[in-house]
Amino acid sequence: MGADKEENRWPPWLKPLLKEQFFVQCKFHADSHKSECNMYCLDCMNGALCSLCLSHHHDHRAIQIRRSSYHDVIRVNEIQKYLDISSVQTYIINSAKVVFLNERPQPRPGKGVTNTCQVCDRSLLDSFRFCSLGCKIVGTSKNFLKIRRHSPEKKGAVSESEDSYSSSRNTSSFTPSTPPRTGLNFRSAKRRKGIPHRSPMGGLMLEI
């Protein structure tokens, strides 16, 4: 019974959506220039769809998946109509607020980070608990909360011996927090493209 309640916490389309592979060529409309699959029907749950496939899903709840730096995102104004996305970090991409579908690898939190995703330890703004929809599912499950409750040490803590490992070359343009520059390199360092900034609407503004 407990397992059923756990499963019913989320709409039936959510987990299939997070497992789906988007931005592949549609096998039904391969000859069309509109054959990229970046749509998903919440009612049918039958895989990624291209724009031509939508003609068979008239009046259905279809959402569009977008991509930035090889990671799938969805606009907040689309997904919040069907799902509670509270506690999930939001970002600003091309003037639109988005959330990530799944977690993104991060070798370790940046220096000076005070808040991280409760599941994967990605750096977050202080007002959020999860970096993605997938992490929220995991982080709010009973099993995860039970493990966390019995683990006194913060998960994913970085030891001093690991401090020499630099993640700068692998850090994507979506890293929520950037380590502060020191006095030595502040004057000479140029502003890099891709550094996130706080936006007036909340979340982070991404330069891509």
Given this model, what pLDDT does residue 8 score?
Answer: 74
The residue type found at 37 is: C
Measuring CA to CA, which residue among 67, 180, 156, 153 is closest to residue 107? 156
Instruction: Tell me the three state secondary structure of residue 83.
Output: coil
Output the six-digit token pair for 167: 């993640």
Given this model, what pLDDT does residue 72 score?
Answer: 97
Query: In the chain, what are the domain boundaries?
Result: 67-152+191-208
Are 166 and 125 spatial neighbours (Cβ–Cβ below 8 Å)?
no
Given this model, what pLDDT does residue 89 score?
Answer: 96
Long-range contacts from 123-127, C-beta under 8 angstroms, 24+ separation: 123/175, 123/176, 123/177, 124/89, 124/176, 124/177, 125/89, 125/176, 125/177, 125/198, 125/203, 125/204, 127/202
Given this model, what pLDDT does residue 133 score?
Answer: 97
Q: pLDDT tens digits, the chain, 208 residues: what are they?
A: 455 566 678 999 999 999 999 999 999 898 888 889 999 999 999 999 999 998 889 889 999 999 988 899 999 999 999 999 999 999 999 899 999 999 988 877 677 888 999 999 899 988 999 999 999 999 998 887 666 655 554 444 433 333 322 233 233 334 343 333 444 443 444 444 455 555 555 566 665 4
Given this model, what pLDDT does residue 5 score?
Answer: 60
Say if residue 155 is exposed, middle or buried (CB neighbours under 10 Å; 0-12, 13-18, 19+).
middle
Note if the pTM is more than 0.75: no
Given this model, what pLDDT does residue 26 score?
Answer: 93
Given this model, what pLDDT does residue 205 score?
Answer: 63
Q: Which residue, chain included where needed, has tokens 């039936």?
A: 12
